[in-house]
Amino acid sequence: MVPNDNDIKQLVHEWAQAIRDGNMDGILARHTSDIVVFDVPMPLQNIGLDAYRKTWELFFRYSPRGEGSFELIDLKILSGDYVAFCYALLQIGGREPECRLTLGLQKINDKWYIVHEHHSAPFAIPEEK
Q: Does 95 bind a copy of itself (CB under 8 A)?
A: no
Cβ closer to a copy of itself: 66 or 82?
A: 82
Candidates 16-24, 25-33, 35-43, 64-72; binding stretch for a copy of itself (CB under 8 A): 35-43
- Give least dist CB 24 to a copy of itself, A: 20
Which helix (H) or strand (E) segment holds residue 5: the answer is: helix 3-21
Residue type, 37: V
Q: Of 123, 121, 125, which Cα lies nearest the Cα of 38?
A: 121
Cβ closer to a copy of itself: 21 or 36?
A: 36
Q: Does 7 bind a copy of itself (CB under 8 A)?
A: no
Distance between CA atoms of 88 and 49, rounded to whole angstroms?
22
Q: Does 3 bind a copy of itself (CB under 8 A)?
A: no
Q: Mind giving me the DSSP string for 78-112?
A: EE-SSEEEEEEEEEETTSSP-EEEEEEEEEETTEE
Q: Does 24 bind a copy of itself (CB under 8 A)?
A: no
Q: Does 1 bind a copy of itself (CB under 8 A)?
A: no
Considering only residues 1, 3, 44, 57, which one is a binding residue for a copy of itself as defined by CB under 8 A?
Answer: 44
**Paired residues of 77 in beta bridges:** 86
Spatial strand order of the sheet with 111-120 comes to 46-47, 31-38, 111-120, 99-108, 83-92, 70-79
Considering only residues 67, 81, 110, 127, which one is a binding residue for a copy of itself as defined by CB under 8 A?
Answer: 81
Footprint of a copy of itself on this chain (CB under 8 A)? 36, 38-45, 58, 76, 78-85, 87, 89, 97-98, 100, 102, 104, 106, 115-116, 118, 120-125
